[in-house]
Amino acid sequence: MRKFTASVFVVSTLAAGAHADMWPHVDGSMKHLMVSLDGQVLSVHIEGDALEKMEMLRYPGEQYNHPADVLNEKYYNSRYGWLADGFIDLPSGAGIFVSVLDSDAGLEVYQGGMRSMLQMHTYAPILGTDGNNDPWQWGGTMVHNWYAVAAPGLYDATYKVYVGDASTGLPLAGYTPGQVTVHFSAVPAPGALGLLSLAGVAGVRRSRRGC
């Protein structure tokens, strides 16, 4: 009888978690995409190991609050953060934009913000996601966008980063753009599969006991 009670508790806890008030997880340390402008030459470099693959995790059964629900049942990561590397002096009416040069099929990107302010993120599709192929304008402050995929595997995306007209997004003449490639590895979240397996075992035990 005590084993049956424990089994029901595990299954009930999983079911309740799917409907709880929940925002996406912020796993792992920040890794910044450092943007600098030397005269009219823009450049981007990644902190630490530029070839490190960011681990994208999936949490089965979790349902996130709107508008973060675009991440439901997906592998995701928000470690990459855009950050100014020193003072950036732009001409009036100019901005810094990011456009897609190449991206593996299935890699999605959603508008983020400060990692500690998840409820302030718009989670709007950007950088080729859901047909939004417009250049994304970076506002100059730290921004952690959300990268997501539906299936496990390795994913890369290469972006052009340039100085453009703030109204049209078109590149400004005379400025040299930068380029950066981000890397991801989508894997199951540690313990997530084990927890679901435990729930399955609990159900089998209950049926075998005929309770």
Q: What is the pLDDT of residue 20?
A: 58
Reported confidence tier of residue 3, pLDDT bands at 50, 70, 90: very low
Residue 13 has what pLDDT? 41
CATH class of 23-190: mainly beta
Give the confidence band of 65 by pLDDT, cuts at 50, 70, 90. Answer: very high
In the chain, where are the structural domains located?
A: 23-190
pLDDT in tens, 95-145: 999 999 999 999 999 999 999 999 999 999 999 999 999 999 999 999 999
For residue 71, how far is the Cα from the chain centroid? 9
Q: Please give the pLDDT value at position 21.
A: 82
Q: Read off the pLDDT band of 36 (50, 70, 90).
A: very high
Q: What confidence tier does 190 reach under pLDDT thresholds 50, 70, 90?
A: low
Closest Cα partner for 66 from 111, 21, 14, 104?
A: 21
Cis amide prior to 67 (ω within 30 degrees): yes
pLDDT band at 59 (very low <50, low <70, confident <90, very high): very high
Which pLDDT value is given to residue 188?
76
Structure confidence by residue, pLDDT tens digits, 68-104: 999 999 999 999 999 999 999 999 999 999 999 999 9
